[in-house]
Amino acid sequence: MKTATATKTATATNGKRAATRKTAARRSSAKTSPNDAAAKTLAIDIGGTGLKASVLDGEGEMLTERVRVETPPQCPPNVMVETLGQLVAQLPAYDRVSVGFPGVVRRGKIVTAHNLGTEAWKGFDLDLAMTNKLGKPVRVLNDADIQGLGAISGKGVEMVITLGTGLGSSLFEDGRLSAHLELAHHPFRKGETYEEQLGNAALKEVGKKRWNRRVEKAIETLRVLTNFDHLYIGGGNAKAVSFKLPADVSLVPNELGMRGGIWLWRERGPGSTDIFRHE
């Protein structure tokens, strides 16, 4: 038979163990893994004229109003990283970071950055630099690819183009992202590229009426090129599109350039692969 003292000791010990388990559970729940469905994502959209950021919940909805600053002119990598650090300092806590970049990105490293005006970007590891700056895991992808991830249905061949400072594009099949193509710098018409004909400078130069005719022509050219099932048009200048769109073409809100960042942390579509793994 247990003595009263032994019983009290056992009760106290069990109570301490229970309290320890509760404390551990609280600590565990407070530490959200970057891959958890409930993790909060800092979404950054780097543009040729503006830098935008917001914090997303686990479903990709914005928890805060987006903050924005002008992109520094002729912006080298070190200036960009410092500017982004200052921009996001005013936002609430987050667990991971998604960055949309206006150029070709491979394994977090920049291949091209035509609209940022400096060769210093070539080969720059933006993933590593932002990880060091923010102290959180970071994934970097082309900005049009991110907008596409936020826009597509995941069925068939879907294409996204973004109309802004330049022109961005992404292509998907059954929700799986294809290799990024520099469509913006491919010949389009009259000896000029898509970006030269459809970028912001062209819109200002020729006016909305002529620019819209060019966009119509581009849609039909891209249809022949890709045989898309659906084409989505986003970017800051999508609002300037004024003609009646075909049934298989639709406009999408520019904010998808950030909301799509949630998909950098999820697999989407059959045969998805980890395109962010460093070699």
> And the tokens for 262?
């949630």
Of residues 89 and 27, more confidently modeled: 89
pLDDT given for residue 14 in this prediction? 47
Strand partners, 44: 53, 99
Distance CA 173, CA 244 (A): 26
Residues 173, 156: contact at Cβ < 8 Å?
A: yes
CA dist list (Å): 122 to 77, 119, 125, 183: 10, 6, 9, 19
Q: What is the pLDDT of residues 235-279, one digit of tens each?
A: 989 999 999 999 999 999 988 888 889 989 986 544 444 455 444
pLDDT > 70 in the chain, percent = 83
Mean pLDDT of 162-166: 91
Of residues 15 and 124, more confidently modeled: 124
Q: Is 25's pLDDT higher than 80?
A: no
pTM greater than the 0.75 cutoff: yes
pLDDT given for residue 86 in this prediction? 96
pLDDT given for residue 256 in this prediction? 85
> And the tokens for 189?
């018409």
Q: Is 24's pLDDT higher than 70?
A: no
Residues 127, 138: contact at Cβ < 8 Å?
A: yes
Residues 275, 262: contact at Cβ < 8 Å?
A: no
pLDDT given for residue 199 in this prediction? 95
If you write DSSP's letter for every residue of 141-179 in order, what string do you get?
A: EEHHHHHHHHH--SSSEEEEEEESSSEEEEEEETTEEPP
pLDDT given for residue 180 in this prediction? 86
- How does the average pLDDT of the chain come out, rounded? 85
pLDDT given for residue 119 in this prediction? 86
Mean pLDDT of 202-208: 97
Of residues 123 and 15, more confidently modeled: 123
Q: How would residue 12 be classed by pLDDT, with cut points 50, 70 and 90?
A: very low
pLDDT given for residue 38 in this prediction? 84
Q: How would residue 2 be classed by pLDDT, with cut points 50, 70 and 90?
A: very low
pLDDT given for residue 182 in this prediction? 87
Mean pLDDT of 111-140: 92
Lowest pLDDT segment from 116-130, 179-193, 201-215, 264-278: 264-278
Tell me the domains of the chain and their CATH numbers.
41-143 (3.30.420.40), 146-259 (3.30.420.40)
pLDDT given for residue 276 in this prediction? 52
pLDDT given for residue 4 in this prediction? 47
The one-letter amino acid code at 179 reads A
pLDDT given for residue 158 in this prediction? 98
**96: closest CA among 30, 24, 37, 42?**
42
Residue 196: CB partners within 8 Å, gap ≥ 6?
188, 202
pLDDT given for residue 271 in this prediction? 41
Q: Is 15's pLDDT higher than 80?
A: no
